[in-house]
């Protein structure tokens, strides 16, 4: 078992030698006494029994960031059980950041997270590379405990337009400043248009929708939205054409937008020149096949 502990000054603890739960708890005890606030359970196969033991430890009471990203060799059911056990710890009441990237949590596990009042202080939830579907996203969108959430990463899941529409209607996720729904092939212009029209997304500063099924129509919806005036960073790397690029250039609704990533066909030289003039070093352009 490998585990790293990071202090509030971002100093890492020793990267090896933690191979039993006794060692882990002893290390955590030493770390907490040194004001450790960030815990990373690195590349490890965490058993259910170990999760219960760790969740029962008062040593978790000072942890602000818990990362399970990178944990390997767990099936869906085991992942749900382990995540729910750890996050359900009565000692994680001050948790602010939760990284579950790639742990194979499913909609069932997400439902349990959404129903957990211990997450009321959570500001960042990273759920990329999992099996979250529309039903799971709807559970997050309707949770009464996630109002403090500012960063939500849902890239590479099983999300479609229905889930994105539920997110756009969310009565509680109104403080989001960064959202990624990238690499979700079920998301089309319909979902993007719902986001663009949503009054609860007015604080968004970063939006990543690349490798979805967004087309120029979705880009036009973003460009036409008066709700996205705080948007600073947009990744719509999806093969938009000159039409979509011109819509962004002509928009008066995106005064804060300084960074743009696009991908696809070769753009008209005049359009490209105007994009470079508008965004300068903030423009990232890729060509399919590069």
Question: What integer pLDDT is reported at residue 9 of this predicted model?
Answer: 38
pLDDT at residue 119 greater than cutoff 90: yes
Q: How far is CA 271 from the centre of its chain?
A: 32
What local confidence, expressed as pLDDT, does residue 8 receive?
39
User: pLDDT band at residue 93, thresholds of 50, 70 and 90?
Assistant: confident
Q: Mean pLDDT in the chain? A: 84
| pLDDT tens digits, one per residue of 227-282 | 999 999 999 877 688 999 999 999 999 999 999 998 756 688 899 899 999 999 89
Taking a C-beta distance cutoff of 8 angstroms, is the pair 167, 141 a contact?
Answer: yes
**Tokens 């002509």, located at residue:** 250
Torsion of CA 93, 94, 97, 98, to 10 degrees: -20
pLDDT at residue number 18? 47
Q: Are strands 36-40 and 4-7 parallel, antiparallel or unpaired?
A: antiparallel
* CA distance linking residue 36 with residue 263, whole number of Å: 41
Angle between helices 216-224 and 242-250 (to 10 degrees): 0
Q: Which domains does the chain have, with CATH numbers?
A: 1-131 (3.80.10.10), 157-290 (3.80.10.10)
Q: Looking at residues 157-183, what average pLDDT do you find? A: 96
Nearest-angstrom CA–CA distance, 16 and 35: 20
Give the pLDDT band of residue 23 (cuts 50, 70, 90).
low
Q: Which pLDDT value is given to residue 114?
A: 96
pLDDT band at 211 (very low <50, low <70, confident <90, very high): very high
Q: How confident is the model at residue 165 (pLDDT cuts 50, 70, 90)?
A: very high
Predicted pLDDT of residue 290 = 45
Strand locations in the chain (E)? 4-7, 36-40, 65-67, 97-99, 124-126, 151-153, 178-180, 206-208, 233-235, 259-264, 283-287
DSSP 3-state assignment of 21?
helix
Among 64, 74, 123, 124, smallest CA distance to 99 is for 124
Q: What pLDDT does 17 receive?
A: 45
Mean pLDDT of 178-183: 97
Decide if pLDDT at 52 tops 80.
yes
Query: In the 8-state DSSP scheme, what is residue 73?
Result: S
Asked if residue 136 lies in contact with residue 113, where contact means CB atoms within 8 angstroms, the answer is no
Query: Is residue 82 very low, low, confident or very high in pLDDT (cuts 50, 70, 90)?
Result: confident
The candidate with the shortest Cα–Cα distance to 254, out of 283, 277, 233, 275, is: 233
Task: State mean pLDDT over 111-136.
Answer: 94
Please name every residue paired with 178 in a beta bridge, in sequence order, or none if there are none: 151, 206
């Amino acid at each position: 078992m490998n585990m790293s502990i990071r202090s509030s000054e971002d100093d890492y603890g020793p990267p090896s030698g933690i191979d039993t739960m006794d060692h882990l708890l002893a290390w955590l005890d030493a770390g907490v006494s040194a004001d450790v606030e960030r815990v990373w359970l690195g590349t490890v196969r965490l058993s259910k029994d170990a999760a219960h033991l760790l969740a029962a430890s008062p040593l978790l009471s000072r942890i602000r960031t818990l990362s399970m990203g990178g944990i390997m060799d767990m099936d869906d059911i085991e992942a749900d059980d382990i995540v729910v056990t750890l996050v359900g710890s009565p000692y994680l009441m001050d948790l602010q950041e939760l990284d579950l990237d790639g742990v194979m949590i499913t909609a069932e596990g997400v439902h349990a997270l959404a129903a957990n009042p211990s997450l009321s202080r959570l500001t960042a939830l990273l759920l990329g590379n999992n099996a979250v579907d529309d039903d799971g996203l709807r559970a997050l969108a309707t949770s009464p405990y996630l109002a403090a959430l500012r960063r939500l990463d849902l890239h590479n899941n099983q999300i479609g337009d229905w889930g994105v529409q539920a997110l756009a209607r969310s009565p509680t996720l109104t403080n989001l400043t960064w959202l990624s729904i990238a690499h979700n092939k079920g998301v089309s212009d319909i979902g993007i248009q719902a986001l663009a029209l949503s009054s609860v997304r007015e604080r968004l500063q970063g939006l990543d929708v690349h490798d979805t099924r967004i087309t120029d129509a979705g880009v036009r919806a973003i460009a036409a939205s008066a709700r996205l005036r705080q948007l600073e960073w947009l990744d719509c790397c999806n093969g938009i054409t000159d039409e979509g690029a011109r819509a962004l250039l002509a928009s008066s609704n995106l005064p804060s937008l300084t960074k743009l990533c696009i991908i696809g066909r070769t753009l008209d030289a005049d359009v490209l020149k105007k994009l470079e003039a508008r965004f300068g070093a903030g423009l990232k352009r890729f060509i399919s096949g590069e």
